[in-house]
Amino acid sequence: MPSSKSNLMLSSDISDFREMAISNEREPVEKSTTSLIENNGYQDSVYINAAKIFQGIRNEKPQDKILVRYGNELVPSLPDFKDECSQRSSYELAFSALKYQDLLENILLDSCFYPCQSIPDELTSLVVVMLYDLQDRKFQARQISDEEESIPEVRDVEHYLYSFKTKLAAALARCRIKHDALSIEYILPETLRKQEQRASALPLYAWINTLKRSLEDIYKELKKEGFTKVESVSDFEGYTYCLDKHCHDVLVFPASLKEEILNLELFTGYKLILQDKSRSLAVHSVKALLNMDDDIIVAHMGSWLTAAHMSVLSNQSTSKVFVCGVKSQAKEVELKELFTRMECGNIELLHEDFTEIEPTDQRLQKAKVILLLPRCSGLGVSNPIEFILNEHEDAGLLRDLSQGSVAENKLHILAETQLQELMHAMRFNKVQAIVYCTCSVYPEENEAVVNKALESGVEGSKVQPYRLSPPLWCNSEIEGPSDIFFKMEPSEISNCCFLAVLARQRDPAEVMSVKDILARAAAKGLLEGLDIGKSSKREEKRKKKSKVTQQRNVPKDTGVQTNIVEFLNREMISINTNSEVSPIKATGGVPQKNVNQTNSSIQLKKITKPISNSSLPGMLKNTPTLSSMSKVFERRTHIRKPRAEDKMVVLKPVEIVLPPVMVPYFNPQGNKSQISAQHYYYRWIGIKSSARDLFIPSLSKRLVKPKETLPSTMVKHPRPWI
C-alpha cells in the first residue's frame, strides 16, 4: 500500500506539472472536441462507435509479440452515428487511442488490469478507448446525464476501469518517467507532435455556394452576424474572416470559431460549405480549362463536396458533372438528396468505378476535363479526422497517419494504383485536360506518377499528346519550367497540396472560333451578366439560308473581275517609281466558281509619299488621291476573317474611285488604234447581300467627262486587255 500511495502522489505531481506546461497547447484541441462537455466524458454511444472504428484500424502485431488480444470484431455492423457531432467525436477518440495504442497496452499490462476474467477479448477495443479518455480526464469520474441512453457494455467496462484507477495512474506515471516525458504527447514522434500543433491553429476554409447566394450577399449576411472582413490570416482577431488569395469564392475563418460558424444558418443551409482548400484549388483548375458546353468527370465518389463545388462553378444548363463509383442504391439516394438541397442540378451519378468505364462510353463523349483525386497517403494533412469525414476517405488511412510515415511497400502500392488511374484517364480521346491532385508529401505519389504517365505515351498517336501546363490561376507563382507543378507544403495556414495539369498540345492547324473563345471566357467568369448561350434553331436556319444566298449571289463575270485586278496591279507597278505600293493580290489562281470571302479581299499598303499630279490624268486632280483611297482599302483589309458562327451584319455600300481604264476603239478608216476621249471608271462597291467582306469591282455605267485633256505622258497599252 505505501508504494501504491507514493506512485499516486508522483502521478498527481507530474499531472499538475503537465497541466501548467502544456495548457496552451491542449486548449485548442479540447475546444475542437464538440461532444466533450467540460472534459467530463462522452455519451455511451460515442464509446461504442469509437471502439468499432478502433477495432478496424488498430495496429496488428506479429503473433510472437502479441500480449493483448482483441478477439473478433465487436459488432459486425458499421458504426451508427446520431449526428455529425457524435461522428466526429467517435473518430477523434478512436484516432487518439490508435496513436497511443502501445502506451495504453503497456498501462493495462503494468497495472495488472489485463488479463481480466470479467471482460472478454471482444471488448478489449472498448477498454482501450475508454482508458484513453479516463487518463485524459485525469482519472476523474464521468458525469452521466439522466436523459442519456445507457449501454450495458460501456457501464461494465467503465466500472472496472474506475476500480483500477490508482494502479492505472501509477502505471502511466512510470511510463512517462521511463520516456522522460512531461506528458504522453511527448512520447509521440516529432512529426506527429508538429502535426497536432498545426491542426490546432489551422484556419477553416469554406467555399460559397453561388447557386443559393451571391458573393456580395454572403458578405452582407456575415456582417449582420457580427463578422468583420480583414486582409489576411495574420489579421485574425475575434469574429473575423478573409478572402483566399487563390480562389475568389473561398473564405477563411479562424479555427477557434468552428463551433460558432457551423451553427450559422449560412452553413446549415448549404450556402457556405466547409472543405479543405486543396479541393477548391483542384476545382478551380478544372474551371479554368472549361468551355461552355463541356462535361466533367470526377473520378472518385468520395469527393461529394468536390463534385458539388464543380457543379456550382459549371454551367447548369449545358454541362454535366459525372461522378464515378456510386455503388449502392442507398448511397445514390442520399447523394441525390444532398445535391438537391445544394441546388446542384447537373450531377450524374455512375455506378461503375472510374477504371471500369471504357473511354468510348457514349455517356462521356462530351467530357473534356477529368478531375482525378486518387487515394493517397494523406501525410500532408494536419487534421486527418476532418479530411476523412469531409472527403469520405477510408478510415484505414488513420493507421498510417498515426505513425507519421508510410511503409515503403504500401507507398509503392499506392503509387502504382495512382499511375494506373492516371493512364486510364489519358486513354479518353475526347478529353482535352486532366487535373491530378493529392495531399501527399511523397514525390513517389506526385511528380513521379505524372512523369511516368507522360512518358508512357498511352494516349496513342492518333490524338495530340499531353504536356504539363501550369494552372491558369497561379502563373505568377510558378517561376520556371522545372517548377511547373503547383505545390503547397503543410503549414499552420494550409494543408499540403500537389496539383498537376495535363493538357493536350494544341494542333497548329486548329483555329479557335469566336464561339469557343467566348465560351472559355464565360467559363472563367469573365462574361458575368452576359447571356452567352446556344444559338436557337431559328438562327441556325437563318445562317443556312444566308450561305445559300451567298453562293447564288456570286457574279458570273468573275473573269472580267480577274482582268480588272490584274490591270490595277500593272498600273500600280508602273507608278511604283514615285510611291511605294504593294501589288494587289490577284485571284486568277483561284477557280472562278469558288470565289469566297478570303480570296476576294484586297490588301494595299499605305502610301508613304504623295503621287505627283503629272503621273495622273487631269480629271483625277480634283479626286481623292491614292493615299486616301489606300486608307480606305487598309481599313477594309483589317476587318477580321468572318466565321459561320458570327451573326450576319449588313455592311453599308462604299464607293471608291480608282484610276480610269481607257478602252481603245478602232477607226473604221484604218487599223490604227486610238485612245478614246471617253473614260470608264471602276468602283469597288460593297454588296448588300449576306456575303460579308466580299467586294466586287463593277463597271460604272456612268461616263464621266474629263475636265481637261490627258497629258501626253499617259501610259499606253499596245495590247488592249478587254
Q: Which of 175, 437, 439, 496 is catalytic?
A: 439
- What one-character DSSP code corresponds to residue 616? S
Provide, for the chain, the percentages of residues in helix, strand and coil under a 3-state DSSP scheme, each rounded to the nearest 5.
45, 10, 45
- CA distance linking residue 112 with residue 130, whole number of Å: 17
Grid cell, residue 447, equals 511528380
Residue 117, C-beta contacts closer than 8 angstroms, at least 6 positions apart:
none
- CA distance linking residue 661 with residue 677, whole number of Å: 11
Confirm if 296 and 371 have CB atoms less than 8 A apart. Answer: yes
- CA distance linking residue 261 with residue 274, whole number of Å: 10
Confirm if 187 and 103 have CB atoms less than 8 A apart. Answer: yes
- CA distance linking residue 71 with residue 51, whole number of Å: 13
- Do strands 272-274 and 204-208 pair parallel, antiparallel, or not at all (unpaired)? antiparallel
Confirm if 496 and 440 have CB atoms less than 8 A apart. Answer: yes
Residue 22, C-beta contacts closer than 8 angstroms, at least 6 positions apart:
182, 183, 185
Cα angle, residue 476 at apex, residues 280 and 448 outer, rounded to 5°: 65
439 given a catalytic annotation: yes
Place of cell 447566394: 213
Cα distances from 521 to residues 110, 210, 528, in angstroms, run: 68, 18, 9
Other CB atoms within a 10 A radius of the CB of residue 82 amount to: 14
Cα distances from 584 to residues 152, 536, 595, 601, in angstroms, run: 99, 40, 16, 9
Q: Is 353 annotated as a binding residue?
A: yes
Confirm if 170 and 8 have CB atoms less than 8 A apart. Answer: yes
Cross-strand partners of 370: 297, 434
Query: How far apart are the two ends of the chain, measured CA to CA in Å?
Result: 131
Residue 399, C-beta contacts closer than 8 angstroms, at least 6 positions apart:
57, 58, 59, 98
Grid cell, residue 623, equals 479626286
CA torsion, points 99, 101, 102, 103, in degrees to nearest 10? 80
- CA distance linking residue 278 with residue 207, whole number of Å: 12
CA contacts within 13 A on the Cβ side of 570: 10
Residue 359, C-beta contacts closer than 8 angstroms, at least 6 positions apart:
427, 428, 429
* CA-based nearest residue to 187, from 124, 126, 132, 130: 132
Which residue ranges make up the annotated binding site?
353
Which parts are annotated binding residues for S-adenosyl-L-methionine?
Answer: 353
Write out the catalytic residue numbers.
439
